[in-house]
């Protein structure tokens, strides 16, 4: 980088997917933004680009973001061919412009999967995940005063595995990165998180059957064990959860867990 | 809520079917290689081995295995093709314009991406070698046993094309097992973070061993085989 660009910032070329609405034909549009500082995030660069577009009377590029610190799961784009960008264990909002050089070209595409319809530009609908969650991604408990913390014993190993699965923020990068557009990593994280713990025990069979049936009904693809999901997952959730999910499913189908009366859910 | 059919043909059920049948086919391939190694010993050993298979349990053993293998193959192919072609195409109609491999913790390889191609070539090879070896006109040895040795060795000696195709198919077999072996454990849910790296390494070893065994056979027979070798006089 030259001295002048260090003062005035980098110039970055962008190829961004623009699509007016779900049914419209989308296309890549080229943009160039200048004055980008290394400390900025990728999303802040898009904010600057949007301000330029609005000043010129053009329509701003729609993209999702909320916390901008990698914990909420709202942001999600395919940055230069990889969901959440090439750095492992981070979300799109955690991408910093110091990873790029002056004059670089960045391609930004929405997450692509049939069950994730494009709403506009880079924004996709992920309600399919919500519908899967409503089928059993919870425990039914009586509310009241907090129970004694040591009333139900949980081994350290089970607690660790459950916590690792529970870090899923439901961003959908696993679906976006999967060559088959499978939601197996997301669904397995939700099923495993509860299956590792005694609190999830009473509903585990019904949960596995119902959530997987809903995953299939939403039109997600099947898993081919490529493991690409684990590589892009901002929380680095392991595909061991997918193995766990399959054990839960086979066990539930074998023992007829779906016939037991269910409480809660729909 | 769930019938047996809907469970077996769910996204997880299809993986279980593919994994279970995959294990059975790996077992068959390993035994098949061990049996074929009698080709290295000579015509007497190989013809004797073939004769044993065809006459065991009054000839019923081979029929039982053949029917079983056809059923296993059918389930493996239908489940795998549904997962890797039909459901995949339905789930993402508009693909990415720019897509790259994430690398890092991903297990996506050329082998994992080409399972459907390596599988299709292997299916074609299986059918071709059955027609060339099993349904060929066989001579009888002096002992009155089918001279399968002469058929097999003669086929390789007379056709550099089939020998080359066999080598290519067996390289693809190695690639298929490189992903398929550990993937079968994962599909059945028999893995965790401790075993995944061990199983992926075991898959590499097993795929190389089986592929080399099956590659050496056609090459050796093409270069050194004598279709008219007399039984007992190897």
Please write the tens of the pLDDT for every residue from A33-50: 999 999 999 999 999 999
Residue A62 sits in the same domain as residue A158: no
Determine the distance in angstroms separating the CA of A107 from the nearest CA of chain B, rounded to an integer: 8
Q: Whole-angstrom Cα distance, residue B160 to residue B223?
A: 10
Q: Would you state the structure tokens that stand for residue B147, as one six-digit string? A: 């001279």
Amino acid A116: pLDDT: 97
Does B7 fall in a domain?
Answer: no
Q: Whole-angstrom Cα distance, residue A82 to residue A176?
A: 9
Determine the distance in angstroms separating the CA of A93 from the nearest CA of chain B, rounded to an integer: 18
Q: Whole-angstrom Cα distance, residue A72 to residue A91?
A: 9
- Residue of chain B nearest A262, judged by CA positions: B1
The stretches of chain A forming alpha helices (DSSP H) are 3-8, 42-55, 127-134, 156-166, 173-177, 184-195, 204-217, 228-232, 240-255
Phi, psi at B175, each rounded to 5°: -65, -40
Which residues of B, range 81-100, sit inside 8 Å of A by Cβ?
Answer: 82-84, 87-88, 90-100
Q: Whole-angstrom Cα distance, residue A255 to residue B73?
A: 28
Minimum mean pLDDT among A74-83, A141-150, A153-162, A230-239: which range?
A141-150
The closest of A139, A148, A147 to A207, measured between CA atoms, is: A139
Does A209 fall in a domain?
Answer: yes
| Residue B120's CATH number | 1.20.1300.10
Q: Would you state the structure tokens that stand for residue A84, as one six-digit string? A: 């959440």
Does B1 fall in a domain?
Answer: no
Residue A91 sits in the same domain as residue A137: no
The last residue of one of the domains, among A119, A137, A168, is A119
Residue A21 sits in the same domain as residue A131: no
Does B102 fall in a domain?
Answer: no
Residue A114 sits in the same domain as residue A132: no
Amino acid B226: pLDDT: 79
- C-alpha dihedral over A176, A177, A178, A184, to 10 degrees? -70
Q: Whole-angstrom Cα distance, residue B232 to residue B234?
A: 6
* Residues in B touching A86 (Cβ below 8 Å): 100, 102-103
Residue A149 sits in the same domain as residue A91: no
Q: Do A112 and B92 touch (CB under 8 A)?
A: yes
Residue A114 sits in the same domain as residue A168: no
Average pLDDT, chain A: 92
Q: How would DSSP label each residue in chain B?
A: ---HHHHHTSHHHHHHHHHHHHHHHHHHHHHHHHHHTHHHH-HHHHHHHHHHHHHGGGGHHHHHHHHHHHHHHHHHHHHHHIIIIIIHHHH-SS--SS-----TT----HHHHTHHHHHHHHHHHHHHHIIIIITSPPPBPTTS-B-HHHHHHHHHHH-HHHHHHHHHHHHHHHHHHHHHHHHHHHHTT---TTHHHHHHHHHHHHHHHHHHHHHHHHHHHHHH--TTPPTT--
Minimum mean pLDDT among A193-197, B2-6, B167-171: which range?
B2-6
**Over 60: is that where the pLDDT of A176 sits?**
yes
Q: Which of A81, A212, A236 sits opposite B12 (nearest CB)?
A: A212
Does B94 fall in a domain?
Answer: no
* Residues in B touching A18 (Cβ below 8 Å): none
pTM: 0.92
> Coil, strand or helix: which one is A10?
strand
Q: Do A243 and B113 touch (CB under 8 A)?
A: no
Q: Give the pLDDT mean for A250-263.
A: 70
Q: Do B91 and A28 touch (CB under 8 A)?
A: no
Phi, psi at A159, each rounded to 5°: -65, -40
B/e letters for B75-103, b = 16+ CB within 10 Å, e = fewer, are bbbebbebbbeebbeebbeeebeebebbe
Q: Which of A109, A180, A232 sits opposite B97 (nearest CB)?
A: A109
Residue A66 sits in the same domain as residue A189: no
Q: DSSP state, A60?
A: P
Q: Whole-angstrom Cα distance, residue A133 to residue A190?
A: 8
**Over 80: is that where the pLDDT of A261 sits?**
no
Residue A82 sits in the same domain as residue A112: yes
Determine the distance in angstroms separating the CA of A74 from the nearest CA of chain B, rounded to an integer: 20
| Residue A105's CATH number | 3.10.20.30
Average pLDDT, chain B: 91
Give percent above pLDDT 70 in chain A: 94
* Residues in B touching A222 (Cβ below 8 Å): 11, 14-15, 82-83, 87-88
Q: Give the pLDDT mean for A79-102.
A: 95
Q: Give the pLDDT mean for A138-154.
A: 86
Determine the distance in angstroms separating the CA of A128 from the nearest CA of chain B, rounded to an integer: 13
Does A266 fall in a domain?
Answer: no
Q: Whole-angstrom Cα distance, residue B35 to residue B29?
A: 10
- Residue of chain B nearest A118, judged by CA positions: B94
* Residues in A touching B113 (Cβ below 8 Å): 179, 226
Query: In chain B, how many domains are there?
Result: 1
Does B204 fall in a domain?
Answer: yes
Does A264 fall in a domain?
Answer: no
Q: Would you state the structure tokens that stand for residue A222, as one six-digit string? A: 């099947």
Does B71 fall in a domain?
Answer: yes
Determine the distance in angstroms separating the CA of A80 from the nearest CA of chain B, rounded to an integer: 7
| Residue A181's CATH number | 1.10.1060.10
Cα-Cα end-to-end distance for chain A: 58
Residue A112 sits in the same domain as residue A150: no
Q: Would you state the structure tokens that stand for residue A165, as one six-digit string? A: 């699965």
**Residue range of the domain that includes A183:** 126-259
Determine the distance in angstroms separating the CA of B178 from the nearest CA of chain A, rounded to an integer: 12
Does A90 fall in a domain?
Answer: yes
Residue A90 sits in the same domain as residue A136: no
Confirm or reject contact between B179 and chain A (CB < 8 A).
Answer: yes
Confirm or reject contact between B201 and chain A (CB < 8 A).
Answer: no
- Residue of chain B nearest A219, judged by CA positions: B91
Confirm or reject contact between B104 and chain A (CB < 8 A).
Answer: yes
Strand A78-79 and strand A123-124: the pairing is unpaired
**Over 90: is that where the pLDDT of B88 sits?**
no
CB-based contact A60:A50 (threshold 8 Å): yes
Residue A138 sits in the same domain as residue A243: yes
CB-based contact A63:A121 (threshold 8 Å): yes
**Over 60: is that where the pLDDT of A260 sits?**
no
Does A196 fall in a domain?
Answer: yes
Q: Whole-angstrom Cα distance, residue A141 to residue A154?
A: 18
Residue A157 CB burial class (10 angstroms; 0-12, 13-18, ≥19): exposed
B/e letters for A203-238, b = 16+ CB within 10 Å, e = fewer, are bbbbbbbbbbbbbbebbbbbbbbbbbbbbbbbbebb
- C-alpha dihedral over A39, A41, A46, A49, to 10 degrees? 0
pLDDT: is A249 or B2 the higher one?
Answer: A249
Does A184 fall in a domain?
Answer: yes
The last residue of one of the domains, among A119, A153, A168, is A119
Query: In chain A, how many domains are there?
Result: 2
**Residue range of the domain that includes B133:** 13-89+109-224
Q: Do B87 and A221 touch (CB under 8 A)?
A: yes
Q: Do A213 and B90 touch (CB under 8 A)?
A: no
Q: Do A216 and B10 touch (CB under 8 A)?
A: yes
The last residue of one of the domains, among A73, A100, A119, is A119
Does A106 fall in a domain?
Answer: yes
Q: Which of A82, A184, A253 sits opposite B7 (nearest CB)?
A: A253
Does B36 fall in a domain?
Answer: yes
Residue A139 sits in the same domain as residue A36: no
């Amino acid at each position: 980088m030259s001295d002048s660009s260090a003062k005035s910032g980098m110039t970055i070329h962008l190829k961004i997917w623009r699509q007016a609405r779900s049914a419209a034909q989308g296309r890549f549009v080229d943009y160039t933004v200048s004055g980008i500082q290394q400390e900025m995030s990728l999303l802040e660069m898009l904010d600057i680009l949007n301000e330029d577009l609005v000043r010129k009377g053009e329509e701003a590029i729609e993209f999702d973001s909320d916390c901008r610190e990698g914990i909420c799961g709202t942001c999600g784009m395919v940055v230069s061919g990889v969901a959440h960008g090439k750095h492992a264990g981070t979300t799109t909002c955690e991408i910093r412009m110091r990873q790029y050089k002056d004059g670089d070209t960045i391609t930004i595409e929405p997450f692509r999967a049939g069950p994730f319809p494009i709403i506009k530009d880079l924004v996709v609908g992920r309600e399919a995940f919500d519908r899967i969650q409503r089928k059993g991604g919870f425990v039914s408990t009586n509310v009241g005063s907090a129970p004694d913390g040591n009333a139900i014993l949980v081994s350290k190993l089970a607690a660790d595995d459950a916590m690792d699965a529970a870090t899923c923020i439901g961003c959908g990068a696993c679906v976006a990165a999967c060559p088959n557009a499978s939601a197996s990593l997301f669904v397995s994280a939700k099923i495993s998180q509860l299956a590792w713990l005694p609190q999830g025990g009473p509903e585990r069979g019904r949960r596995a059957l119902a959530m997987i049936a809903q995953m299939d009904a939403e039109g997600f693809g099947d898993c081919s064990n490529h493991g690409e999901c684990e590589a892009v997952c901002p929380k680095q959730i392991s595909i061991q959860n997918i193995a766990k999910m399959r054990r839960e499913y086979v066990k539930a189908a074998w023992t007829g867990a779906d016939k037991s009366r269910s409480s809660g859910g729909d | 809520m769930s019938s047996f059919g809907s469970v077996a043909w769910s996204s997880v059920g299809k993986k279980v079917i593919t994994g279970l049948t995959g294990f059975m086919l790996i077992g068959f391939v390993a035994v098949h290689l061990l049996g074929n190694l009698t080709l290295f010993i000579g015509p007497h050993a190989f013809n004797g081995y073939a004769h044993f298979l065809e006459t065991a349990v009054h000839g019923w053993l081979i029929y039982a295995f053949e029917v079983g293998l056809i059923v296993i193959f059918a389930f493996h192919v239908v489940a795998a093709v549904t997962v890797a072609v039909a459901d995949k195409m339905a789930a993402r109609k508009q693909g990415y314009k720019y897509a790259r491999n994430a690398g890092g913790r991903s297990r996506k390889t050329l082998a994992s991406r080409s399972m459907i191609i390596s599988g299709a070539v292997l299916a074609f090879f299986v059918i071709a070698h059955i027609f060339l070896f099993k349904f060929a006109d066989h001579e009888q040895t002096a002992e009155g046993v089918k001279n399968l040795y002469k058929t097999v060795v003669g086929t390789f000696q007379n056709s550099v094309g089939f020998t080359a195709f066999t080598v290519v198919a067996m390289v693809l077999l190695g690639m298929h097992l490189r992903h398929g072996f550990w993937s079968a454990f994962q599909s059945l849910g028999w893995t965790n973070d401790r075993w995944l790296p061990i199983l992926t390494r075991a898959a590499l070893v097993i795929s190389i061993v089986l592929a080399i065994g099956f590659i050496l056979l056609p090459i050796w027979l093409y270069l050194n085989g004598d279709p008219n070798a007399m039984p007992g006089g190897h």
